[in-house]
Amino acid sequence: MELLFALAIGVLATCGVYLLLRARTFSVILGLTLLSHAVNLFLFGMGRLTSGAPAIIGLGTESADPLPQALVLTAIVIGFAMTAFVVVLALKAAVELRSDHVDGEDPDEDRP
Amino acid sequence: MNHLMILPILIPLIAGASLLLAYRYSTGRQRSISVTSTFLLAVLGGWALITAGSGDYHLYLAGDWPAPFGIVLVLDRLSAVMLALTSGLALFCVLYACRGIDRQGAHFHALFQFQLAGINGAFLTGDLFNLFVFFEVLLIASYALLLHGGGRARSRAGLHYVIINLVGSALFLLALGILYGLTGTLNMADLAIAVADAPGSDRALLTGASLLLLVVFGIKAAILPLLFWLPRAYSAASAPVAALFAIMTKVGIYAIIRVFLLVFGLGEDPLNETAFAWLWPLALLTLALGGVGVLGSASLRAKTAYLVIVSIGTLLATLSFMTTASLGAALFYLIHSTSMTAVFFLLADLVGRHREHGYDGFTSISPVAHRWLLGTVFLVAGVSLAGLPPFSGFISKLWILQATTAEEGAFWLWSVLLAAAFLTIIAVSRAGSSWFWKPGELTGPARPLDRSCFALVWLMTGVSIALSVLAEPVGQYLTQTAEQLHAPEHYLQAVLPESFAEYQARETAP
Name the H helices within B355-469.
Answer: 371-386, 392-404, 410-436, 451-469
CA atoms within 13 A on the CB side of B459: 13
End-to-end CA separation in angstroms for chain B: 38
Work out the pLDDT band at A108, boundaries 50, 70, 90.
confident
| Residue B414, burial from CB neighbour count under 10 angstroms (0-12, 13-18, 19+) | middle
Please indicate whether, in this complex, the C-beta atoms of B156 and A93 are within 8 angstroms of each other.
yes
Chain B contact for A104 (CB, 8 A cutoff): yes
The pTM of this model reads 0.94
| pLDDT averaged over every residue in chain B | 91
pLDDT per position as a tens digit, B219-269: 999 998 899 999 999 999 999 999 999 999 999 999 999 999 999 988 778
* Total domains in the fold of chain A: 1
Indicate whether B335 pLDDT > 70.
yes
Chain B contact for A28 (CB, 8 A cutoff): yes
Within a domain: residue B349? Answer: yes
Residue B510, pLDDT score: 62
Work out the pLDDT band at A97, boundaries 50, 70, 90.
confident
Within a domain: residue A111? Answer: no
Within a domain: residue A108? Answer: no
- What is the ipTM for the molecules in this complex? 0.94
Residue in A closest to B160 by C-alpha: A102
State mean pLDDT over B472-488: 93
CA atoms within 13 A on the CB side of B38: 30
CB B279, CB B214: distance < 8 Å: yes
Within a domain: residue A103? Answer: no
State mean pLDDT over B188-199: 91
CB B188, CB B279: distance < 8 Å: no
- Residue to mutate among A26, A65, A86, A99, with most B CBs inside 10 A, is A86
Provide the residue range defining the domain that includes B300. 271-469
Within a domain: residue B57? Answer: no
- Total residue count of chain A as it appears in this document: 112
Indicate whether B122 pLDDT > 70.
yes
Worst-scoring range by mean pLDDT, A45-54, B275-284, B422-431? A45-54
Residue B412, pLDDT score: 92
Within a domain: residue A78? Answer: yes
Residue B24, pLDDT score: 87
> DSSP letters of B286-311?
HHHHHHHHHHH-SBHHHHHHHHHHHH
Within a domain: residue A25? Answer: yes
Within a domain: residue A80? Answer: yes
Residues in A closer than 8 angstroms to B170, CB to CB, are 32, 35-36, 39
Worst-scoring range by mean pLDDT, B40-44, B382-386, B405-409? B405-409
DSSP B259: I
State mean pLDDT over B190-213: 92
Within a domain: residue B205? Answer: no
Chain B contact for A39 (CB, 8 A cutoff): yes
- Pairs of residues, one from chain A and one from chain B, whose beta carbons lie less than 8 Å apart: 84
Residue B472, pLDDT score: 93
Within a domain: residue B328? Answer: yes
CB A54, CB B116: distance < 8 Å: no
Please indicate whether, in this complex, the C-beta atoms of B178 and A102 are within 8 angstroms of each other.
no
Identify the bridge partners of residue B74 per DSSP, sorted by sequence position.
Answer: B59
Distance from C-alpha of A109 to C-alpha of A100, rounded to nearest angstrom? 12
To the nearest 10°, report the CA torsion of B320, B324, B328, B329: -60
CB B465, CB B391: distance < 8 Å: yes
State mean pLDDT over A45-58: 83
What percentage of chain A reaches a pLDDT higher than 70? 96
* Total domains in the fold of chain B: 1
Provide the residue range defining the domain that includes A23. 2-97
Work out the pLDDT band at B152, boundaries 50, 70, 90.
confident
Within a domain: residue B5? Answer: no
Within a domain: residue B48? Answer: no
Chain B contact for A57 (CB, 8 A cutoff): no
Work out the pLDDT band at B270, boundaries 50, 70, 90.
confident
Distance from C-alpha of B375 to C-alpha of B447, rounded to nearest angstrom? 16
Nearest 5 degrees, angle CA B461-CA B463-CA B466? 120
Residue in A closest to B139 by C-alpha: A82
Distance from C-alpha of B7 to C-alpha of A31, rounded to nearest angstrom? 39
Residues of B at the A interface (Cβ-Cβ below 8 Å)? 129, 133, 136, 140, 143, 147, 151-152, 155-156, 158-160, 162-163, 166-167, 169-170, 173-174, 176-178, 180-181
pLDDT per position as a tens digit, B75-120: 999 999 999 999 999 999 999 999 888 888 889 999 999 999 999 9
Nearest Cα to Cα of residue B4 among B46, B67, B54, B33:
B46
DSSP B260: I
